[in-house]
Amino acid sequence: MKNNLIMEINQYVAVVVSFYISFKIMRKAVRTGDKGILLNIVLGICCLALGNVYFFLLKIVSIVPGTISVGLFAKNCCYLFFIAALLEYKKEAGKRGGLYFCFINGATFVLTAACAYALLANNIYVLNISVLLMDLFCLVLAVGLIPNKKARFFACLMISISLLDVISSIEIFTLSVFLKSLSPLLYLLFARLIDSMKEDVTHAY
Amino acid sequence: MLTNIINNLLGSNIPGFIFSILIPLLFLIVMVKDKFSKYLLGYFCYGVFSVIFAFILNEWFSQYPGQINRVSSDISPIVEETVKALPLLHFFRKDRHNRKLVIYCAMASGIGFSVNETLFYFTSFVSSPSLYSIFPLIMRTITTCLMHGMSTAVVGFGVRITRDNKIIRLPMILGLLALSATIHSLYNILIGTRLAIVALLMPAAHYFVGIALLSNDDETQGGEAYKS
């Protein structure tokens, strides 16, 4: 009972924090007119925030969403924007060829199509496998960016998000409560990341 | 299964609505010489026609076991957003076009799609006409067409900004498709609840944000042109 209350309060905090931070950084992205890394990160956070708002509004109107819902799909698809941001960093580093990017784009398409099929056909196994693969995919891309000084903070953040997602999918109760309680902190870290990116741009000028 | 679905489709009002809108517009498209208008009308026509694909796919997936309650909340948003946005792939091949044309065409496709839905609501209205029922009908018409138009415009925005950046094209557009499907699903769910006002305001908010962003863009481009 106590755990449920804590989780509920944590969910409300996550909704408010995610909504506030996504609004704040979206304004920043629009002001700077960035159409690359910043915009992708902002859209990824907006996707997460929209997923949170989806479940929050459904709770208000007392509708219980199914195990697989569009809200969950939105939360999973935030990885697409984060993958796009990681690819931008890789492109800036300039170490990879066209074939590498083609492969990543192809794999992203297949995983998203599998996710969408799982949602349409209400198939939990396909969804779990495609989300797990998306997590691993993101993890591998982020690990490759750790040597890049400019992208290190974002890469570490992505590694932690992917790992948390993988671990929470194992669903050990105490652990998943602990991990879910971290989610407002992740949004704050994203806000810090955006601030540091803005500082970089200012220093560059 | 497909035969049953096609029989259902032919038994509904949809083919009648489609042909009564499409045929006059096709004459107009042939007559108009301006390419910009041709594109807009063409995409609008596609939007009207795409209801057929959406109907077939929605029916197909709703026949899986335990899916009846999920049609409007989970199945139709994904199917409809994908179907409406499909012809925007054409802009990947075409490089020499107005930068904003893709956004306008996307919106035209979405609005074309919503016209069919609105006609469907109109037929329900005609079966029980009264002065009190016309206000909800008008509100529904405005918000449905804005929701469909703006959700496809979001994908068009993605196509536009990834025009010069092919590396992130697929993940970004797929992500925007997911975003627009979520907005669509929220609208479908909330419209029938006590939070209907949120559903009604959401498309209007998107529309005004879209206008503000596009006009801001116009000013920037105008300023640059003036400087040069």
The helix/strand/coil state of A25 is helix
**Interchain contact, B183 vs A69, CB within 8 Å:** no
Residue B211 in tokens: 């206008």
Spatial CA neighbour of B176 closest among A128, A40, A108, A54:
A40
DSSP B33: -
Strand (E) or helix (H) holding A169 = none
Residue B149 in tokens: 């138009």
As a whole-number percent, the residues of chain A with pLDDT over 90 amount to 3
Indicate the pLDDT class of residue A114, thresholds 50, 70 and 90.
Answer: very high
Tell me how many degrees the CA angle A97-A101-A107 measures, rounded to the nearest 5: 145
**Interchain contact, B186 vs A54, CB within 8 Å:** yes
Q: Is the pLDDT of residue A101 over 90?
A: no
Q: What is the average pLDDT score of chain A?
A: 80
Residue A108 in tokens: 């992203």
Task: Return d(Cα A78, Cα A187) in angstroms, integer.
Answer: 13
Distance from CA of A101 to the nearest CA of B (A): 6
The sign of the torsion formed by the CA atoms of B49, B53, B54, B55 equals positive
Res B126: pLDDT: 63
Domain boundaries, chain B: 2-214
* Total beta-carbon pairs less than 8 A apart between chain A and chain B: 116
pTM exceeding 0.95:
no
Q: Is the pLDDT of residue A92 over 50?
A: yes
Task: Return d(Cα A100, Cα A88) in angstroms, integer.
Answer: 13
Spatial CA neighbour of A165 closest among A174, A154, A176, A156:
A176
Strands (E) located in chain B: none
**Interchain contact, A73 vs B178, CB within 8 Å:** yes
The helix/strand/coil state of A174 is helix
Q: What is the pLDDT of residues A26-73, one digit of tens each?
A: 777 777 777 778 888 888 888 888 888 888 888 888 888 877 888 888
As a whole-number percent, the residues of chain A with pLDDT over 70 amount to 86
**A154-169: burial string, b at 16+ Cβ within 10 Å, e else:** bbbbbbbbbebbeebe
Indicate the pLDDT class of residue A205, thresholds 50, 70 and 90.
Answer: very low
Task: Return d(Cα B148, Cα B152) in angstroms, integer.
Answer: 6
Distance from CA of B198 to the nearest CA of A (A): 10
Residue B44 in tokens: 């609008």
Amino acid at A128: N
Q: Is the pLDDT of residue A157 over 60?
A: yes
Indicate the pLDDT class of residue A110, thresholds 50, 70 and 90.
Answer: very high
Strand (E) or helix (H) holding B164 = none
Task: Return d(Cα A56, Cα A64) in angstroms, integer.
Answer: 11
Write the DSSP string, B46-108.
Answer: HHHHTHHHHHHHHHHHHTSTT-GGGIIIIIHHHHHHHHHHGGGGHHHH--SS-TTHHHHHHHH
Averaged pLDDT, A118-132: 87
Between A193 and B201, name the one with better pLDDT.
B201
Strand (E) or helix (H) holding B124 = helix B101-127
**Interchain contact, A50 vs B189, CB within 8 Å:** no
Q: Mean pLDDT of residues grouped by 10 in chain B (228 residues)?
A: 83 85 91 90 93 90 79 89 91 73 92 86 67 74 89 90 81 91 91 86 88 74 45
Distance from CA of A42 to the nearest CA of B (A): 12
